[in-house]
Structure 1
Amino acid sequence: MSKYNLKPEIIIKNVADGFTGFSAIAEKLNKSIAAIKGEKVVLAIESYPGVNYSELRNKLFPLLPASKIIFADDYALSIEEVQAKIKDVITEDRVFGVLSHYTIDQFFHKENIKLAENEIKQTAGLVIVYGTGTTLLVEPDILVYADLTRWKIQRRFKEGMKNWKTDNKDEDKLRKFKRGYFFEWRMADRQKKKVFEQIDYLLDTNVEKSPKMIDGDSYREGLQQVAHQPFRLVPYFDASVWGGQWMKENFDLDPNADNFGWAFDGIPEENSIILNYNNSTKIEVPATNVVFRHPNELLGPKVHARFGTEFPIRFDYLDTMGGGNLSLQVHPLVEYAQDKFGIHYTQDESYYILASTDHSTVYLGVKNGVKKEELVNDLKKAEAGNYRFPDEKYINIFPVKKHDHISIPAGTIHCGGPDTVVLEISATPYIFTFKLWDWQRTGLDGLPRPVHVNHGQHNILVKRDTDFAHKNLISRVEDEFENLTNQEDVKTERTGLNELEFIATDRHWFKESIIVETHESVNMLNLVEGTTVVIESLDYSFDPFPVSYGETFIIPESIKKYRMINIGDHDKEAAVIQAFVRNL
């Protein structure tokens, strides 16, 4: 029987083995240090914000014969100077800021850089320089890049970790995330791209007390191999205020947890990949590293030209089985998103219904004849407190069932109802959701969940009403679809998204097999019916890749065409939903 894989790995071939644990890593670094001739050796550890520096200081550095250790933060701007400089992008809002264009060099005084250079120059033996911005201070003999995933950073925020150059241990986790998303991670990604070719060793710091390291050439070769084969991201699941029991039961999650209301199963900005080197060392790195390194091979030249090194499609799960409604919300129109937050495109999305009951519903669009001023006034009254927003007066509620597909272009009020499992297929700017009404709930942290009627009111389109939704936004599984393929015993249906959205979705039904094209775009897919399919290369360029029910997977554009084979029950059709960027 098929089983959802919670820790998918990507086998990397014909490369060197890596190193696990501080002792093995130190032994390798000491050999590299000894191989360098001269009175001085500089070891630089350039680091992504969020790396546990105390572990490096206490566990790694004592194993290295350092004459001097320099922490880059000590030479950066002060906490007060940094805060003053980024005030324009951080804002006072609890959730939203403005995407930063800062680079790390803007946070170091030139005289401080000179000071560090002189200290290094005057020291013989091994000099270790570490931290974010290390490579500004020195041209190293050996460069280690210490990396970790954004999801691990967010976990550490919850546990009390500070942001870079702050003293905010006890600050609201949403504000910590905001600072990371709008400022730190943008800056760190720019620096990561800049030093990519120079990396001698990649240090995986995700698991405390168990670091892993791979040499730079093997690391780069690993990313090259990823960009030419099907792969999965490492999913993560979390509790929600709306509940959710379906994923717990179907994906073999912790049965003792209260709920798993949402999951990121296909968001490279958040998810990681595990690179398994020769079935030996397993290196976990942000999935965005593949996007940064091989955008043409992964995204395709046309998608790269349009979106740069951003992965434009995301899949995630929203589970309300045994729970309640999602928040009533709207996503920003493109011009609003650009003007207010500096993002390039907005979060157009869709709800693909993966599981349902007789009680499953979605809230979608306003009712015919709704006046925007009245709607917004009631939303503001509810936001102020002691007033229940009369959703039944303003918002449509539609019943849904398995395999229905609901399009939600930006500007459309929407919300998932109870007893529904949604595979959310959308554009990637996932943070830009304006909650309009949240059923008078508080968050799991006990704090009121933020509501943003102030933003939402400028983006609600009341022309997205009942008639519009029926005509343009609701695709029923029983609808008559044109079959887009002439392959025998295969049906390919264009289920969505709406023509206003840049993502197209095809659903493929097949009992035996089907050949699929990438459409000159990276593909993100999910097995929405059946137990197991295998993805095969038409030219033997990659190994057969098995996929189980509910798993999201990625096909790089470089593959062009591939075969999907149903190895489950051949008396029943398998179905795969395929998302790609349409060529307009």
Structure 2
Amino acid sequence: MVKDQIVQHVNKPIRVRPWVEPGPWGGQWLKSVCTNLSQSPKNYAWSFEMITPENGIILSDVNHHLLEFSWDIFYGSQARKILGNDEHYKLFGDSNDFPIRFDFLDTIDGGNLSIQCHPNLQYMRTNFGEKITQDETYYILETKQHWNKECIDDKNSSSHVYLGFQDNIDLEEFHQALLLSRKEKQELNVSKYIQCIPSNIHDFFLIPNETIHASGHNQVVLEISATPYIYTFKLYDWLRLGLDNRLRPLNIEHGMKNLKFDRRGEQLRCQPRVIHSESNQYEEQHLPTHDLHFYDVHRLIIQSNESIEIIRSTDNRFHLCMLVEGDAIEIEYEFIDNNQEKQRYNYIETFLIPASISQYRLRPIIKDNNKKPQQFVLLIAFLKTNCEKLLE
């Protein structure tokens, strides 16, 4: 019975149950927008999705009996149908190897993330035995000034990312400043060393490994990332205490071995390119990722009209999707015995179109015509066709 449901489930869009977690820098947006979450934590910092050891899948029968099992069990048994492409299956076919994750970083009415970096591929393999490293991107999903119109002229409510070094930074001076800050518990002059880049809703920043970075406060970031699990080297954490009332551990020595001092913030701001448009219907954009990223991202900007239908092909690879503006999106696809089925996903719900679905239709859903969205924006992440070469 369960096995049959698993086999059937891989032929339809998939949504895993998110894992949410409070943190020392966490914000209030997730609590406000996701009203089904417990309101007892003082904040929510993260919501992780598509991480095989962390997330679960819930199945139900005709009597609405529920069964949840871990995403790695499902993925491990169905990886070939999810991934499609033979080269992708060779790279990511093990049960814990689903390669892309989506997660939220909520800092609205919270704090800055730690100043951090991630290891290069060889360092990751040599020191931690992982096959891939943690190349990231930041998609700015929301900002405090956009979300709360009363804050639009309040400079203290502006948003930014810390990304890349200032010009002519001395490596050893920076190293010693980090050590002194930790030892003497004194603030680091972050802006002396690291660029602070203004951010706005729908901006997209590229964070390949060895890039110094952090999300600033007053925004919600959708982090689209490779998923080796958790390998973040924290260099500076604003001298704040963790939820256990202790200073959080830093990884200064690891981090100093994994920094590119010639990377600059604005160089890592993605420049979208229009690749297709249909008048009065939609525009498709390519959001080019860095040469080190093994995944890519497209963005559909859809007019607010329920009569619009967009046909998409998966080209024998999965599509990992999220509606980042608008009410909901409907997916129509061919199920078993050529039956057409439909599935609806709401704003900020992650969903996976497996490679087993060769073609699907998208349609925007307007929930309230009196509060009609200006537009719908859908993100689609997928593996590059040459990603095996990037991981050699």
Give your verdict on TM over 0.5.
yes
Structure 1 position 295 matched with structure 2 position 94: no
Structure 2 residue aligned with 1:536: 332
The 1:528–1:225 alpha-carbon spacing in structure 2 relative to 1, beyond 3 Å, is same
1:492 pairs with 242, 267, 284, which one?
Answer: 284
Give how far 1:430 is off: 3.2
Question: 1:352-501 alignment to 2 at 5 Å?
Answer: 352-358=139-145, 359-464=158-263, 466=264, 469-471=265-267, 473-475=268-270, 481-484=273-276, 489-501=281-293
- Write out aligned runs for 1:24-423 (5 A): 218-252=1-35, 253-300=37-84, 301-309=86-94, 310-358=97-145, 359-423=158-222
Distance 2:176 2:258 in 1: 15
Match of 1:583 in 2: 385
Q: 1:541: how far off? A: 4.7
Distance 1:414 1:571 in 2: 33
Q: 1:542 to 1:288 in 2, by over 3 A?
A: farther
Work out the CA distance in 1 between the residues paired with 2:44 and 2:204. Answer: 22
Cα–Cα, structure 1 residues 488 and 269, in superposed 2: closer, same or farther, change >3 Å?
Answer: farther
Deviation at 1:281, TM superposition (A): 2.5
Count of residues in Structure 1 that have an aligned counterpart in Structure 2: 360
**Aligned with 1:264: secondary structure?**
strand
Cα distance change, pair 432–445 in 1 and its aligned pair in 2 (3 A)? same
Matched position secondary structure for 1:576: strand
1:239, distance to aligned residue in structure 2 (A): 1.1
Measured in 2, the distance between the counterparts of 1:269 and 1:493 equals 32
**2-side partners of 1:268 and 1:513: how far apart?**
32
- Which secondary structure does the structure 2 equivalent of 1:504 belong to? strand
Instruction: Report Cα offsets for 1:83-141 as digits up to 9, x if no partner.
Output: xxxxxxxxxxxxxxxxxxxxxxxxxxxxxxxxxxxxxxxxxxxxxxxxxxxxxxxxxxx
SS of structure 1 residue aligned to 2:191: helix
1:427 CA displacement = 0.3
Of stretches 442-451 and 420-429 in structure 1, the one that deviates more from structure 2 is 442-451
2:279 and 2:91 mapped to 1: Cα distance? 32
- Provide the TM-score with structure 1 as the length reference: 0.59
Q: Quote the residue 2:318 is aligned against.
A: 522
Amino acid at match of 1:516: R
CA–CA distance in structure 2, aligned partners of residues 494 and 459 of structure 1: 29
Deviation at 1:308, TM superposition (A): 2.5
CA distance in 1, matches of 2:67, 2:321: 24
> What code does the residue aligned with 1:559 have?
I
CA distance in 1, matches of 2:185, 2:47: 32
CA distance in 2, matches of 1:503, 1:394: 30
- Answer with 1 or 2: which has the greater Rg: 1
Please state whether the residue corresponding to 2:76 is helix, strand or coil.
helix
3-state SS, counterpart of residue 124 of structure 2: helix
- Deviation for aligned residue 1:450: 1.2
Q: Which residue identity lines up with residue 249 of structure 1 in the other structure?
A: S
Secondary structure class of the residue paired with 1:482: strand
* Structure-1 residue corresponding to 2:354: 556
1:465-495 CA-to-partner distances (Å, cap 9, x unmatched) read x3xx323x103xxx66223356872211111
Q: 1:480 to 1:227 in 2, by over 3 A?
A: closer
Structure with bigger RCO (C-alpha 8 Å, 6+ apart): 2
Structure 1 residue 378 displacement after superposition: 1.2
Deviations 1:235-288 (A, max 9, x none): 122211013001111111334431111111332331000011223431100011
Q: Tell me the secondary structure at the aligned position of residue 322 of structure 1.
A: coil
SS at 1:249 equivalent: helix
Give CA-to-partner distance per residue, 1:283-309, whole Å, 9 cap, x none.
100011122101110122332122232
Q: Over residues 200-237 of structure 1, what are the superposed CA-to-partner deviations in whole Å (9 max), with x where a residue is unaligned?
A: xxxxxxxxxxxxxxxxxx22212211211102111122
Q: Give 3-state SS (helix, strand or coil) of 1:498's partner.
A: coil
* Match 2:374 to one of 560, 572, 578: 572
**Structure 2 CA distance for aligned equivalents of residues 340 and 372 of structure 1:** 22
The 4+ residue runs of structure 1 with deviation greater than 6 A are none
Q: Which ranges of structure 1 fall in alignment gaps of 5 or more residues?
A: 1-217
What's 2:155 paired with? none
Residue by residue over 1:328-368, the C-alpha shift from the partner in whole angstroms, topping out at 9 and shown as x without a partner, is: 10000000000000000100010111101351110001111
Please give the secondary structure, in 2, of the residue aligned with 1:516.
strand
Give the structure with the larger strand fraction. 2
Alignment-mate amino acid for residue 277 of structure 1: D
How far did 1:499 drift? 2.3
Residue 370 of structure 1, CA deviation? 1.1
* Pairwise CA RMSD: 1.8
SS of alignment partner, residue 24 of structure 2:
coil
TM-score when normalising by structure 2: 0.87
Aligned residue in 2 for 1:47:
none
For residue 374 of structure 1, report the CA deviation from its aligned partner: 1.5
Distance 1:231 1:369, change over 3 A: same
Q: Is the 8 A contact 2:19 2:54 kept in 1?
A: no
State the 1:379 CA deviation.
1.4
SS at match of 1:224: helix
CA, structure 1 residues 437+561, in 2 after alignment: closer, same or farther (shift >3 Å)?
same
C-alpha deviation, 1:409, in angstroms = 0.3
